[in-house]
Amino acid sequence: MKPLSAVLISYRASAPGVIPNFGTETIQSNQNYTWQFYTVTRGR
């Protein structure tokens, strides 16, 4: 079986009332990845 090659992915994360986060990431073969997104509330 041939190993997978690295690949460039694009992502976008959004929720109502939150500034979206987006970008690109290179995913390497034979690696595990996780993403965590959170919001921070700041007083004015």
pLDDT at 44: 67
Structural domain tally of the chain? 1
Is residue 5 situated within a structural domain? yes
Judge contact between 9 and 25, C-beta under 8 A: yes
The percent of the chain in helix, strand and coil, each rounded to the nearest 5, is 0, 30, 70
Is residue 15 situated within a structural domain? yes
How confident is the model over 1-44, as pLDDT tens digits?
A: 666 788 999 988 888 888 888 999 998 888 888 878 777 777 76
Is residue 36 situated within a structural domain? no
Is residue 41 situated within a structural domain? no
Is residue 37 situated within a structural domain? no
Is residue 43 situated within a structural domain? no
Is residue 20 situated within a structural domain? yes
CA distances to 17, 27, 29, 37, 44 from 34, in Å: 24, 11, 14, 10, 32
Is residue 12 situated within a structural domain? yes
pLDDT at 2: 64
